[in-house]
Structure 1
Amino acid sequence: MRILLVGEYSRLHNSLKEGLIALGHEVILMGTHDGFKNYPVDIYINHSFTNKLGHKLKVGVFKLTGIDLGSLEITYKVKNKIKKLPAFDVVQLINEASFSIQPKAELNLLKFLQTKGKKLVVLSCSYDYSSVKFMLNHGFKYSAMTPYLKDQSLLKHYKFKLQYLEKDFVVLHDYIIAHTNGIIATDLDYHLPLVGKSNYLGLIPNPINTDKIDYIPMTIDGKIKIFHGINSYAALTKGNVFFSQALKIIAEKYGDRVAIITTIDMPYVDYIQQYNQCHIVLDMVYAYDQGYNALEAMAKGKVVFTGAEQEWLTYYKIAENTVAINALPNVHNIVDKLSELIEHPEKISAMSVAARAFVEREHHYKIIAQWYLDIWHSN
């Protein structure tokens, strides 16, 4: 098959591409490099207004005319690049808004891409209309929208998420529901909002290329090392505050028995160096399932505090606290779970092995690639 993957979040489409190529298929990945993460793409698409002066020009023209120069440029570049290529069997978009441009322009490109592929599929991955609406309607016990639901003064921080409920985005969503070959969720946080919806093809777990991620054998011969990496932009929606407060208590309670490493917006190379030497990784609170950071840490054999709710345990048929630790929005609960591991380090070693085995079993990139192929063939 010839496959076009559009967009990249946290290496999802790169891992899927590697699996598909290993199974004998031809794959082209088009998109940005996912910001500072700099993931490779075959066709790089972005606008030219990323520097300070360009951004001011773009904003000024939009205010005066309502024309978004970035959307125009990306639309032109995509059509110019893709029209020169042979048709694809499948075109898959990473998100309802894969190009991060105005929704009318997203819809324009989506319709164009439909002419270049026999099938067009869209992932529910990161925020979209269905997930944001579900969170705002209290569909989850807690979610990335919980801080906003408790404090509407946080509106400015949530504008990006709430835009998916605006009229033009709803039109885009409705078109995807009615005119594409279907929607695939990438984890339970996106699956649950779509259950029972028309055109929903089901959940396919995130692919992880474990051939590129070495397992780091767990050795505990001194302090228990706990890593908390904070991305200041996402800290609110991930619930990092609960980890920060819990770590203060742990530091007082255990003193020299633990080494706590907290980083804020650290460059990736330094971040990984700190992260690799730790036993426990504090990932996120506001989730039911694991994202890429958590899964890659689990593949390395880390004990990860992340989304691992009962719905996730039921879906994968595993026992609580055997593969990952469910991080609740409760400081004392986090302290209790950390204390259990610090006082019983043999549990860290056992979970390290189980975490790697889980990722290889449920997220192996070749198994997941075949799952995608089966879904594409049958819809």
Structure 2
Amino acid sequence: MKILLIGEYSRLHNSLKEGLLVLGHDVMLLSSGDHFKKLDTDHSFHSSFLSDYWLPLKIKNAFYKLTNIDLAKAERGLRFHFLIQQLKHFDHVQLINSDAVETFPFLSRILYKKIFNKIKNRSLLICGDDTPIIDYLLKKETEYSILTPYFENKTLKKHFEYPLKYTGKNYRKTFEWLSKNCQNLITSDLDYKIPMEKMKYNAHFIPNPVNINRIEFKEQKIDDKIVIFLGINRSSYIKKGIPYFEKALQIIQEKYPEKVTVIITENIPYTDYINKYNTAQIVLDQIYAQDQGYNALEAMGKGKVVFTGGGNEFVNHYKLTEKVNINALPDVDYLVRELSFLVENPEEIIAIGKRARAFIERVHDYISIASHYLAAWK
């Protein structure tokens, strides 16, 4: 098959592409690289003119303050339009989500229609914020979610503009149009599988693909100090519960000054992010989750102990009897206790790391996952 993948926010589509290539398929990835992350892509529609040069960037920001219109969205849409003029003879197209082109919703629909006129077999991936996910979370039927800080303090609304935009009329119209014009809806982890089921959508559940051949497993060695890594994406700072991690780390540093080293990064490219956390034994990923996001999965594949989603839904679904990560909760005292236990029992870091790698190999192997995608598409 000749396959077109559109959009990238982690390494999901890159890893899926790598698995499909191993299985003998021809794959092209189009994306913006997701801004500062600079993720790999075959062809980019990144708004380079308005985002990478000082004067256009200043003009863009000033225009946004005056009109609330982001000109970078227009540039991405225009660049994507020129890319799709070159597309020929694809058998299948998959969108990373309903805002895969990261442009204005009305323009997204125009561009999607142009693609769909060329490619008759289509799928929509639900692997992050999207209309039915946010609709479900707004029902407040879960113990906690990425919207919990917003529910607790409405003055934080500006921090939730990205997820809440999917409930707007134009974004909702785009999702509904796509759900009717794609043969398949696919969810990538339990944080999306469960809401889609609750909202009565029929979607395939296929776990995230992780290229285990690309990720080297190293058994953790505790020589001098235990290194704890926290990578901050400022745009998702509140909804991922980073303040809880920061408070817990402050206590841990004061409690174990001779035993712990803390590394904190903010808004750095993906390759730099990986290089920074390679030295760590413990990685703090996110609060408010039932399952793992992509960064957590890669860290687990390297044998690190990751604080992330790992609650009852996750344990029961995968029938786990031992910890493969640490379930991160919005509770500083709890986080301090879990971190303290690991610092005082470093052999547990080694054991959890081994189980984490085995779990990734069993559930997330990129070639096996690619075959599941092919089956769903057919």
TM-score by length of 2: 0.91
Q: Which of residues 109, 115, 122 in structure 1 aligns to 2:117?
A: 115
Distance change >3 Å, CA 6–CA 215, structure 1 → 2? same
- Check if 1:44 corresponds to 2:44: yes
Shift of 1:266: 5.4
Partner of 1:374: 375
- Please tell me the root mean square deviation across aligned C-alpha atoms, in Å: 2.5
Distance 1:149 1:80, change over 3 A: same
Alignment of 1:242-321 (within 5 A): 242-265=244-267, 271-319=273-321
Q: Deviations over 1:144-177 (max 9, x none)?
A: 2111111111112212221111111111111122
3-state SS in 2 of match to 1:334: helix
For 1:198 and 1:286, locate their aligned partners in 2 and report how far apart those are by CA, in whole Å. Answer: 23
1:215-273 deviation line (CA, Å, top 9, x unaligned): 12211233322222223332211111111222232233333233333334456666444
What amino acid sits opposite 1:282 in the alignment? L
Aligned: 1:165 with 2:167: yes
How far apart are 1:333 and its partner, in Å? 1.1
1:190-222 C-alpha deviation (Å, 9 max, x unpaired): 111101556532211111111111112211233
Paired letter, 1:202: H
Partner of 2:330: 329
Q: Which runs of 5+ in 1 are unaligned?
A: none
Mapped to 1, the partners of 2:221 and 2:66 lie a distance apart of 61
Read off the aligned partner of 2:178 and give its amino acid letter: I
Match of 1:340, SS?
helix
Deviates more, 1:366-375 or 1:240-249: 240-249
Partner secondary structure for residue 238 of structure 1 = coil
Letter in 2 for 1:334: L
Contact 2:80–2:101 at 8 Å: present in 1 too?
A: no
- What is the aligned partner in structure 2 of residue 227 from structure 1? 229
Partners in 2 of 1:350 and 1:65 — Cα distance? 54
How far, CA to CA, are the matches of 1:70 and 1:281 in structure 2? 33
Q: CA deviation at 1:3?
A: 0.5
Q: Which moved more, 1:132-141 or 1:101-110?
A: 132-141
1:151-190 equivalences in 2 (<5 Å): 151-190=153-192
Q: Equivalent of 2:220, from 214, 218, 221?
A: 218
Q: Determine if contact 1:134/1:140 at 8 Å carries over to the other structure.
A: no
Aligned to 1:358: 359
Deviation track 1:31-88 (CA, whole Å, cap 9, x = no partner) reads 2122222222222223443245435655787899999765555444434433433221
Q: 1:96 aligns with which of 91, 98, 101?
A: 98
Rate the CA distance shift 1:134–1:217 in 2: closer, same or farther, 3 A.
same
Cα offset, 1:25, TM superposition: 0.5
SS at match of 2:145: coil
For 1:25-36, list aligned pairs within 5 A. 25-36=25-36
| C-alpha distance 274-32 of structure 1, shift in aligned 2 (>3 A) | closer
Calculate the TM-score normalised by the size of structure 1. Answer: 0.91
1:124 aligns with 2:126: yes
| Counterpart Cα distance in 2 of 1:7 and 1:31 | 4
Superposed CA offset, 1:298-318 (max 9, x none): 111101111112111111111
Deviates more, 1:188-197 or 1:303-312: 188-197
Q: In terms of mean alpha carbon deviation, does 219-228 or 56-65 score higher?
A: 56-65
Structure 2 counterpart of 1:338: 339
CA, structure 1 residues 304+189, in 2 after alignment: closer, same or farther (shift >3 Å)? Answer: same
Between 83-92 and 26-35, report the one with greater CA deviation.
83-92
2:193 is aligned with what amino acid? H
Residues 177, 199 of structure 1: 8 Å contact kept: no
Secondary structure of 1:88's aligned partner: coil
Q: How big is the shift at 1:325?
A: 0.5
Structure 2 residue runs without a partner (length 5+)? none
Q: d(CA) in 2 for partners of 1:253 and 1:334?
A: 13
Match of 1:9 in 2: 9
Give the whole-Å Cα distance in 1 for the aligned partners of 2:342 and 2:21.
40
Q: 1:52 to 1:165 in 2, by over 3 A?
A: farther
Residue identity opposite 2:206 in structure 1 = I
Report if the CA contact (8 A) 1:201-1:375 is conserved: no
Whether contact under 8 Å (1:181, 1:199) holds in the other structure is no
What is the match of residue 201 of structure 1?
203
Partner of 1:347: 348
SS class of match (1:126): coil
**Number of residue-to-residue matches in the alignment:** 376
SS in 1 for 2:257: helix
* Structure 2 Cα separation of the partners of residues 75 and 342 of structure 1: 49
Q: Distance in 2 between matches of 1:99 and 1:192?
A: 26
Q: Deviations over 1:264-295 (max 9, x none)?
A: 44566664444222211111112111111111
8 Å CA contact 2:240–2:288 kept in 1: the answer is yes
CA contact (8 A) 1:4 1:88 kept: yes
Corresponding residue for 1:87?
A: 89
Amino acid at match of 2:4: L
Contact (CA 8 Å) 1:214, 1:300: kept in 2 or not?
yes
In 1, distance between residues paired with 2:252 and 2:173?
49
